[in-house]
Amino acid sequence: MRCLALLVLLFLPHFAQAAASAPYVTPRDQVRLVSETNSATDGKLQLALQFKLAPGWHIYWKNPGDAGFPPAVSAAAPVTLGALDDPPPDYFLQDGIAAYVLSGEALLPFTASGISGDSLSVNARWLVCADVCVPEHASFTLPLTGGASAEAGLFPAAPSIVPSPYKATLTPDGTLRLDGVGAQQVKAAHFFPDSASALVNSAPQTLGFGAHDLTLHLKLAGPATAELTGVLELTDPSGRMQALAIATSPAPPAAHAPWWLLALAGGLILNLMPCVFPILAMKAAAFARMGGAAHAHIRREALGYTLGVLGSMAVLGGVLLGLRAAGVAAFWGFQFQSPIFVALAAWVILAAGLSMAGLFHLSMPGFIGRLPAQHSVLTGLLAVLVATPCTAPFMGAAIAAALAMPALPAMGLFLALGLGLALPILILAFIPALAAALPRPGRWMAWVQKLLSLPMFATCLWLGWVLFRQSGP
């Protein structure tokens, strides 16, 4: 009998370990699926994704901010999964791009229902970033063998990180006001909105105090026409943090902001972003092709390029606005989360690079082929295609404002963004002194164009790597 008891004690920890899946491990992160209990009750189970991130790496909160996308889980029918309950995030600002991230160790609880059988499989996708971003996915299998759970201790702590509800007011100028919170209790504060289009995420948030209240000045991304919700993180003088779940009443319309100027400036600066180097290559080839031509021809080429840019931007803006109207979370560059789009983009850019290298002639289909300056139209289309993974200063604010506006003014902002992207070509074409300074065509152009095809091939290789990460094992 004593031996039997000893064997039970020896093997009990191994049975308890069944409440966690095998970990997904890379040098960047370690991810597991864990459960509060080792069996489903009425087909329901409390689960969590447990992330352990290497130093310098992060994943994204439910509202990622100006870039990235949050973790997501799915399971085969009839199992249904609830939303991930994210802990309060950290604020991450780099090159004018603001993001809301989770780093170190993070537990993301969620519920599952409709469970039957002695195991559960859950698919997860997430984006992990440091200097570069890597899309990752894994399938976790959790044995449901009954008995105690070795991971049950993780879950009692989970409610403690859920923010406490707190009602606040929002003034017309974007000032968040909390009554009953004074300067003695708070040293620093930051508000993280639930909606990606609520605030200008990169703008500083200014903390202030009244006689019996706390104020935090926020820069709204557009008219405050709906309830503002999110998480307010407060840090007391000792460094201890407290999170509050904030809900405000609808704010009156905010003061008018020149959003179209921000969009125009964002598009203009986008020309200088390092990740848009293939655009510069295409433009340089276009400049060389225009050298020595008549002014009318140069202007026609510039207008063709602008038409391609504005047309592509209008389509992209329409898709974004349509998805938002349907309740789907969509952001600038969202289409690169789709392996199909990444593969299509890689083939298009590869074809453009081969054409620039002189290996074949890229002709225009349909109505584009009948337009004047057809090659410039195609260059404009490709410019927007390769620009979409990038975000320039002012772009995040303008796009967030557009997604909070009615359709017509929002489309105007997307067109202003495209106009900024095309503006250098237009200035060059419509100022004769600059056009006259362009080099005249010659045999050297063929070699320059071949050289400029190299960034196109490099972009294609990068897209292939992203596609491999999205669809690999």
Return the domain boundaries, the chain: 2-159, 164-248, 259-471
Q: Domain 164-248: give its CATH architecture.
A: Sandwich (2.60)
CA of residue 312 relative to chain centroid, distance? 20
Consecutive H or E run containing 369: helix 366-369
Give residues with Cβ within 8 angstroms of 89, minimum separation 6. 61, 100, 101, 102, 192, 231
76 DSSP assignment: -
Q: Please, is 142 exposed, middle or buried when counting C-beta atoms within 10 Å of its C-beta (0-12, 13-18, 19+)? A: buried
CA of residue 55 relative to chain centroid, distance? 21
Question: According to CATH, what is the number of the domain 2-159?
Answer: 2.60.40.1250
255 DSSP assignment: P
Q: Which two tokens stand for residue 294?
A: 């008549």
- In terms of Cα–Cα distance, which of 289, 295, 293, 309 is closest to 424? 309
From first to last of its 473 residues, the chain has per-residue pLDDT tens of: 444 444 444 444 444 444 678 899 999 999 999 988 888 888 888 899 999 999 999 999 999 998 889 999 999 989 999 999 888 999 998 877 889 999 999 999 999 999 888 889 999 999 999 888 899 999 999 888 776 667 766 776 555 456 777 888 887 667 888 887 777 788 899 999 998 878 888 888 988 887 778 888 888 876 555 578 899 998 888 888 888 888 886 444 444 457 788 888 888 888 776 556 656 556 655 665 665 556 777 788 788 888 888 998 998 888 888 876 665 556 666 667 778 878 887 887 787 778 777 776 655 454 444 445 567 787 788 778 777 766 667 777 677 677 667 778 888 889 999 999 888 888 877 877 776 666 666 676 677 777 777 877 887 888 788 888 777 65
C-alpha atoms less than 13 angstroms from C-alpha of 366 in its C-beta half-sphere = 3
Do 2-159 and 164-248 fold alike per CATH? yes
Q: How would you classify residue 239: left for phi > 0, otherwise alpha for psi between -120 and 50, otherwise beta?
A: left
Contact 61, 89 (CB under 8 A): yes
